[in-house]
Amino acid sequence: LYWEGAAVCRHLMQSNAVTGVYLLLEASLGSGSALYRLKRFDECIAEFREAVHQSQVMFRIDRGKHARLLARSLSLLSGALGVTNRIVEAVETRRASVDLWAELSKADSEYYLPELAENLESLSSLLVMVQDYRGALEASIRTVDIYRDLIKENHDLFIHRLARSLLQNSSMLDKEFRHLESLQMTQEAVDIYRILIQKMPDRFAYDLSRSLDQLSSCLIQHEENDLALIAIEEAINLLQIEFNKSPAEYAIDLCLRLCRRAALRLDLGNSDGALADAESVILLLSESMKVDWQGDTTEVLALAREIRDLVQFRSKQKWRGSLEEKIETIRKLLLRSDTMPQ
C-alpha cells in the first residue's frame, strides 16, 4: 500500500511538486518502517535514503518548516544502518539528526526535547561501538540531564527513560574508570525501577533485573562482593520469572547472570554453589541445539565450563599459578558491558 501510494505521489508531483514531494517522503518513511519490521534491511535503507533525499529538498525550500522531517528521516536511516553494522555511517547520520533535533528543541523544547534525548541515547550506543568512549559519555550525560528536566513537567511519562539513561551513563562512566559515579548512577536507576515495578511488575521486572546485574558489577569493582552477590541473586530471581514465560528470549541473559553468581560464589569460598551454577548453565545451554535461543551461546558456555573446571581443580587441591589468573580473566569478562546482549 505504501508503494502504491508512492506511485500516486509521483504522478501528483507533475501538477503540484511541493505536495507531491511531501507525500512521497511520508510514503518512503512508511514503507521503510514496514520493511524494517520485515527485516528486509537493504530495501529498508534504500527507502530511508530516498526519504532523506526528499526531505533535504524540502529543507532547502523551507528550513524552518521541514527541519523535523529531515531530522526524522536521518534518525530512521541511522537506526537501519546500525542494525546492518554500517556503524561509521550510522554515527555520522545520527550526529546530523542530533544537531537538527537540538536546533528544533530551542524553538519548542516541550515537543522536541524527548526526540533529542532519544537520539543522543542512540548516538552514545553507536559511539561505544567505534570505541569513542569519551564522546559516548558526553552524549549520555546530555541525555540524563534532559530527562531530569523532562520529569519535572511529566514525571510518569519520562521517569523510566531517566532510569534507562542512568544505566547507560553508568556504563560509560565505568569505561572512563569513574567507578564511584558509575555506582551512584546505577543505584539511582535501581531505586527508580523498584518504585516502577510496584505499579507495573510485568513491564519493569526485566529492567530491574538488568539494573541489579549492573549494580552487582559496580559493587565488584569496589570489592563489595557480599553485596554484589545479594544484588545478582535478586536479579536472577526476577529474570527466572521472565525466562519461564519466554525461554528463548531470556536464556542468554539468565546464563550470564548465573555465571556472574558462580564467579562470586567461588571468590567467596562457596565452591558447591559455584559448581551448581556452572552446571546449570551448561545443562541449559545444551538445550540450544533444540531451541532457537536469541543470542550466541558459545562464549557463555565456554565461560561456564571454565568456572566448573576451576571449582573441580580447587576441590582436588591441584593449585597452579595460572588458576588465579583464570579467575581474574573470568571476572574481567563478566565486568565487560559489551558481553551482555544489547
Grid coordinates representing 5?
A: 501510494
- Phi, psi angles (nearest 5°) of residue 259: -65, -40
Q: Tell me how far the alpha carbon of residue 290 is from its chain's centroid.
A: 27
Q: State the pLDDT at residue 341.
A: 37
Q: Side-chain half-sphere of 200: how many Cα atoms within 13 Å?
A: 9
Q: State the pLDDT at residue 337.
A: 42
Q: State the pLDDT at residue 246.
A: 87
Among 210, 208, 214, smallest CA distance to 182 is for: 214
Mention every residue, 6+ apart, whose C-beta is less than 8 A from residue 214: 167, 170, 171, 186, 189, 337
Q: State the pLDDT at residue 340.
A: 41
Burial 73-107 (b: 16+ CB within 10 A, else e): bbbbbbbbbbeeeeeeebbebbbbbbebbbebbee
The radius of gyration of the chain's CA atoms, rounded to the nearest angstrom, is 24
Q: State the pLDDT at residue 323.
A: 47
Answer for the pair 75, 119: CB distance below 8 angstroms, yes or no: yes
- Phi, psi angles (nearest 5°) of residue 75: -60, -45
Longest CA–CA separation in the chain, Å: 86
Q: State the pLDDT at residue 305.
A: 78
Among 128, 69, 132, 78, smallest CA distance to 101 is for: 69
Along the 342 residues of the chain, how does pLDDT read in single tens digits? 766 766 666 666 566 555 666 777 787 888 888 889 989 999 999 999 989 998 998 888 888 888 999 999 999 999 999 999 999 999 999 999 999 999 999 988 888 999 999 999 999 999 999 999 999 999 999 999 999 999 998 999 999 999 999 999 998 998 888 999 999 999 999 999 999 999 898 899 999 999 999 999 899 888 899 999 999 999 999 999 999 888 888 888 888 899 889 888 988 888 889 888 888 888 877 765 455 555 566 667 777 777 777 776 655 444 444 444 555 555 555 544 444 433
- Cα–Cα distance, 191 to 67 (Å, whole number): 38
- Phi, psi angles (nearest 5°) of residue 323: -65, -45
Degrees, nearest 5: CA angle 185-268-253: 50
Answer for the pair 76, 48: CB distance below 8 angstroms, yes or no: yes
Q: State the pLDDT at residue 63.
A: 83
- Cα–Cα distance, 257 to 249 (Å, whole number): 14
State which amino acid sits at residue 21: V
Cα 331 to Cα 229, 258, 269, 337: the distances in Å are 13, 13, 15, 12
Among 99, 141, 145, smallest CA distance to 124 is for: 141
